[in-house]
Amino acid sequence: MAAPFDLERHDTDILIIGTGGAGLFAALHAQQAAPQGTKITIAVKGLIGKCGCTRMVQGGYNVALGGGDSVERHFMDTIVGGKWLPNQDMAWRLCEQAVVRIRELENEIGCFFDRNPDGTLHQKAFAGQTADRTVHKGDLTGIEIISRLMEQVLARPVEKLQEHRAVGLIPSKDGSSLAGVLFIDMRTGALRLVRAKTVLMATGGGPTMYKYHTPSGDKTMDGLAMALRAGLPLRDMEMVQFHPTGLLAGEDTRMTGTVLEEGLRGAGGQLLNSYGHRFMFDYDAKGERATRDVVSRGIYAEMRKNNTSKNGGVYISMAHLGPENVRQKFKGMVKRCADSGFDLAAGQVEVVPTAHYFMGGIVVDTDTHTEMEGLYVAGEDAGGAHGSNRLGGNGVANSTVYGGIAGDVMGRDIRKMARLRDPDEAVLQTEIERVVYPFTKSPGNIQELRNELQNTMWDNVGVMRTAAGMTRAARRILEIRSELMNVGVAGGSRAFNLTWHDWLNVSSLCDISEVITKAGLERENSRGAHYREDFPESGSLEGSYFTLARKRDEELQMSREQVQFTIVQPGHSILSTEEPATLVRAAE
């Protein structure tokens, strides 16, 4: 029996969980908006500026800056790309505020983006868009953004809880609001309850329950798992985006799954099968510049035909664009490929669809409020802005736009909150018992269970899906969960006990994998990232619905809710008649 866990208690005013683009922007905006003397705390599973998904962004930041582009065009691309499932008010605010935020990134945060000879921001082509609107810093845009945000936050009087893993949302005594968050201090293994008047969940997504995935292995959907246990509604949970071109370097390296960004195909990169055939035009008239879901399915189809590369994927070729040109434009990816034995500039690189981004998330409004008073959500944890498919370049824009909004709103709302809330001690005790449970069981092979989950999800709830496959997956996920409950962690030091955290990782992944699977069964049509081979039609656009998942009394309940076309109806466009007719036709 493990030694008892003591609980430390800590108070703050504004608590921000996560230090990606959403979390760091929220901290800066909250400090400006909140009353003087407000205590702001940021907590992160790793180290500030050194973890999270914003840092991994290669491609860039979508923003309409004129030159034939407009907020309206950006909005229509987002709606059409999301197959009419986005929350239109959220999508509009994203596109509109991106213009404000990119100037803030440059002029206040200090980001340096690539420019044209005339001094204007350079914007490159990304798939699924009708304008070249992606602002970037070479192919290392995320590092530029997160590094400058980190410098700004570290220079301010913000309390920093680094290497603190959030493990539970603790409601108030009456259950009407959020009292605080339970953490593990990973450095010591201690449990810490942090009470706060307002809490932002910006933990990011990270669909690492798939065999091929882009995020680091410590990204395990903890935020959504906490929200699920707290009874909050989750929408669009079947919508897992597979990036078409994840590096495929073999089974024995973590480099496999790493993204080779959208700009390669936007610049003219070609996808080839084992026979050297440029196959994407067999599947879509836009070829390699089709949206991510379409290209992923094209690659997956070639894989099922065994038209594959050495490691079982396909090839991307850039050599026809000129090796020196490729080396200059895509320095980061050329080096990354070279480290894995590939010559991106002059040869061919093996790629495979890789689980990349999660369009689903917690139901929020355009001010980041949830139905639980005191809890706000921004970034990849929030559902609604992207619908069934996220356009490349909209991810980091979404995080920074809504992170800033969350900071402003929390700073404003806290003025109405006189005191901290007392936690529901029964829920707190239940969450503590869940967290320390692994110490009551004998050690076992946790990694084997994670591998089994990844294979199950890739084979049955991946790029292409059927009812039979998802039913099989749902059954196997429950079996893996049961097996996990019989596997424990050795006693001894709890400080940086990575086996303990591996157990918690698999637990979160099992929770969210079940929701993904059951949401996939609930959607009996094909939209964006969700493709049902047994229901290949998209269904009526006018009758579009999104799925809702909620846990009540330990039972996962699924339902549907109609999409509200608050700005534009299917078959129509908000663009003027002077705009290209191709986009209007795409909206039909």
Q: Which sequence positions are flagged as catalytic? A: 243, 265
542: how many CB neighbours lie within 10 A of its CB? 12
Rounded Cα–Cα distance for residues 228 and 362 (Å): 9
Q: Measured on CA atoms in the order 472, 478, 239, 298, is the torsion positive or negative? A: negative
Residue for token pair 């299917």: 570
> What would you report as the CA-atom Rg of the chain, rounded to the nearest whole angstrom?
23
Separation between Cα atoms, residue 588 and residue 583, nearest integer Å: 9
User: What is the rounded distance in angstroms from the CA atom of residue 241 to the CA atom of residue 127?
Assistant: 14
Please, which contacts does 535-541 make with residues 24 or more away whose CB atoms are closer than 8 Å? 538/83, 541/83, 541/84, 541/570, 541/571
Phi, psi of 200 (to 5 degrees): -105, 125
Number of other residues whose CB lies within 10 A of the CB of residue 107: 9
Cα distances (angstroms) measured from residue 396 to each of 27, 96, 218, 368, 383: 16, 14, 20, 16, 15
* 53 CB-near residues (< 8 Å, 6+ apart): 20, 142, 204, 205, 206, 215, 219, 380, 395
Query: In sequence order, what are the residues at sequence separation of 6 or more whose Cβ sits closer than 8 angstroms to the Cβ of residue 122?
Result: 113, 114, 115, 116, 135, 136
H helix runs in 82-234, sequence order: 88-104, 141-154, 222-229
What pairs with residue 201 in β-bridges? 17, 377
User: Please, are residues 494 and 189 in contact by the beta-carbon 8 Å criterion?
Assistant: yes
The Cα 385–Cα 383 span in angstroms is 6
Specify the 3-state DSSP secondary structure of 570: coil
